[in-house]
Chain A
Amino acid sequence: MTVHMVSDPTTLASTVSGGRKSRDVIFLIGLWVAMLLCTATLLTLLVDTFVTGRSKLTWAFLSGHPDPFPEDAGIQSAILGSLWVVIPSGLGALFVAICTAIYLEEYTRTDSRIQKFINLNIQTLAGVPSVVFGILGLAFVARGPLSWGFTVGTAAMVLGMMILPVMIVAAREAIRAVPSSLREGSMALGATKWQTIRRQVVPAAVPGIATGSILGVSRALGESAPLIMLGALAYVTFNPSGFGDYYTVIPLMIFKYATEAQTEFQVSAAAAIIVLLVMMFALNFLAIVIRDRSRKAW
């Protein structure tokens, strides 16, 4: 039956049931429409943003600070604030994620209780809305036990926690994808387990880990909900110089500019969106470069 369909689908479709082929075509058209709809929406948004924000995309805007007057408004403190928050959170989460993934993939058995317990936790955490992390950070990091206040350190810590589950999943997938023959070969040549992991498994998993974690960092870069809880401010005319400083981030400035009563601020919001998109694009480009450079064929 199946063989027949593949060898001569047209005759079969017309003889067996007249509606089959047309249904096939309808489905294909449906797929096309869905895809075009997505692309068109995205393109409309991008083009609209670019056209609106282009005029404001000047050096004065990039080097300016938040300002009550639209003509002087800029996003320097927000760009640096975003970097100050996202880079430490990304690096911190990456380190913890790789360690966790190595432990789970190399040191525990798939059916062990600890693995099941941790799996359940990671999967649950990965699905938690970001604002919940914001509330958690407000209660335990900004206030409460740690009491770091509404600072860069708090924001980096909470965003790190937020992207950790995604990074662990990515790192585990990458480590699992390393062929076991590689491990066995290394062991057979007399390497210890740790040497095998450090010199064979982790380097081989780098492309997958890099791709996954940079996606996580991109998410942190575009995040605003938890940071509103964590005191990202509307008016900050200075750049952070340490983890104890106050800060603002680009998504928050976009929100602030977009909801400002004077319409001239809409242009600033669009320009800030372009800056954010460029930063995200750069990150994704970096992911592709790392993946391609360290890819190995087995």
Chain B
Amino acid sequence: MNSKGHTLRKSIVGKISVAALVASGLVAFAASPASAAKLNDSCKRKDLFEVENVSGTYLRCMVKPGSSLHAKKPKKAEFTWQKINKKQFDYGKNKTSSAIRMDGSSTVYPLMAVTAKYFDATTSGKATVSIGISGTGGGFEKFCKNETDISNASRAINATEAANCAKAGVTYTEIIVANDGLAVVVNPKNSLTCIKMTELKAMWAPGTGTSGPGKATQWSDAIPGNTTGALKLYGAGSDSGTFDSFNTFVHGRSTTSRTDYQATENDNVTVKGVAAELGAIGYYGLSYAEENAKLNKALQIDNGKGCVAPKISTVQDGTYAMARPLYIYVKKAAVAKSPVIREFVKFYLDNADIIAADALFVPLTKVQVNTARGAVNAI
């Protein structure tokens, strides 16, 4: 396949039929970076997980040992060419690539999209991964109709969905792929350090029904006796998975939220707003909170069992209230038919730390990874 020592980068030319070429005219491609990788030499961020065959030795661009892609200093990560066994990337026996069809939660989407990108780089296109965003419920509907191989879910499968799958004879394995954690942040000068879930609910609840303007305008409206003054709310826009997650944690329903707050898809707006105003409160992904610890103060959350600080460890062990596991459901029959699906999931678990950091999720614990590995191998 690569006797000439060319890059293993997926050639995108092969897949275009003549008809499409004639029809498009404007799109033609060449993807062949002329580079000679050397062991331990630095490589570029965009080449992460690319594999090159340098006179019989396989080198893969990886995060340099000792540096990290993790949240605190993501830009400090260094990348180097590292030696790997051929077996580590040579998935699949034949040249035709297998399809991996995924659909489901848009919260899990970034994680699987990053995995697909890196898997593609490492296997030079052994699998054509396609990912839809029909939502957790929509994903399960297709999954149980045998229309997808893997279903992405931000919650566990429910009884109705499981019954549908059983009726259609679809058997599957549930795998936890990452932890989703949110941090509630306030201005560093705010004296508050811990907030009760019920207080958050009072702050963010719509006045009536499931949406619309809220009632609380002062901090004291939500927290009796609080003297911070006027309440200024920063939150995620309704398109984002963060919005859904936050509402699920606080109100129990992904769409319930007051509408009169500063909505943004850009977490930076929240960071700046909260840093500038004493009365501001906002929320975003936990990994982002660690990056901006100096500008925003992350509150501890009390969900009836005392105050718990938002940390990777408390998210991973489940004691922090604003955390939940994210799942994928792998169809057993699909794995039997095309083993590359198992390899895809294994690839994710082998590199879960890097991928979770890239997609801004809290990574799995060692125990979680081992449990997941066991589940994958048992399929």
Please list the residues of chain A having a beta carbon within 8 angstroms of any beta carbon in chain B.
Answer: 62-63, 65-69, 71-72, 76, 79-80, 83-84, 87, 143, 149-150, 231, 233-242, 246, 256, 259-263
Contacts and interface: CB of A to CB of B under 8 A. Distances in A.
Interface string B108-130: 01101110110010000100111
B132 A79 contact: no
Interface in B1-52: 12, 15-17, 20, 23-24, 26-29, 46
B266 A235 contact: no
Given A235-B109, A236-B130, A263-B265, A80 B147 contact: no
B26 A242 contact: no
25 contacts: A62-B26, A63-B27, A63-B28, A63-B29, A67-B117, A72-B46, A72-B117, A79-B26, A79-B27, A80-B16, A80-B24, A83-B23, A87-B23, A233-B132, A234-B113, A234-B131, A236-B130, A237-B120, A238-B125, A239-B15, A241-B20, A256-B133, A261-B242, A261-B265, A261-B267
Contacts of A234: 109, 113, 131-133
A68 B120 CA distance: 13
Given A68-B117, A239-B16, A262 B266 contact: yes
Q: Is the interface of A mostly helix, strand, loop or mixed?
A: loop
Nearest to B113: A68
A237 B133 contact: no
Contacts of B23: 83, 87
Contacts of A260: 265
Q: Is the interface of B mostly helix, strand, loop or mixed?
A: mixed
A4 B240 CA distance: 67
Nearest to B21: A80
B147 A149 contact: yes
Given A261-B267, A263-B265, 18 more contacts: A62-B27, A63-B28, A68-B113, A79-B24, A79-B26, A80-B20, A233-B130, A234-B113, A235-B112, A235-B129, A236-B130, A237-B116, A237-B117, A237-B120, A241-B15, A246-B99, A246-B101, A261-B239
Interface residues of B, number: 44
Contacts of B240: 261
A68 B114 contact: yes
A143 B145 contact: yes
Given A149-B147, A235-B113, A84 B29 contact: no
B16 A235 contact: no
A234 B110 CA distance: 11
Contacts of B17: 241-242
A82 B28 CA distance: 16
A246 B28 CA distance: 20
B133 A68 contact: no
A68 B110 contact: yes
B162 interface: no
Nearest to A265: B265
A126 B19 CA distance: 30
Contacts of A72: 46, 117
Contacts of B239: 259, 261
B359 interface: yes
Contacts of B114: 68
B132 A231 contact: yes
A32 to B, nearest CB: 38
A237 B130 CA distance: 7
B302 to A, nearest CB: 28
A175 B202 CA distance: 67
Contacts of A84: 20
Interface-central residue, A63, A71, A79, A237, by most chain B CB under 10 Å: A237
A256 B109 CA distance: 11
Nearest to B97: A238
Contact of B20 (A68, A83, A261): A83
Contact of B24 (A83, A246, A262): A83
A242 B125 CA distance: 18
Contact of A261 (B26, B28, B142, B266): B266
B133 A238 contact: no
Nearest to B285: A261
Interface-central residue, A87, A259, A261, A263, by most chain B CB under 10 Å: A261
A233 B138 CA distance: 13
A67 B131 CA distance: 11
Nearest to B146: A149
A68 B359 contact: yes
Contacts of B28: 63
Given A234-B132, A238-B15, A241-B16, A80 B266 contact: no
Contacts of A67: 113, 117
Given A68-B114, A72-B46, A237 B129 contact: yes
Interface string B81-99: 0000000000000000001
Interface-central residue, A69, A231, A239, by most chain B CB under 10 Å: A239
Contacts of B241: 261
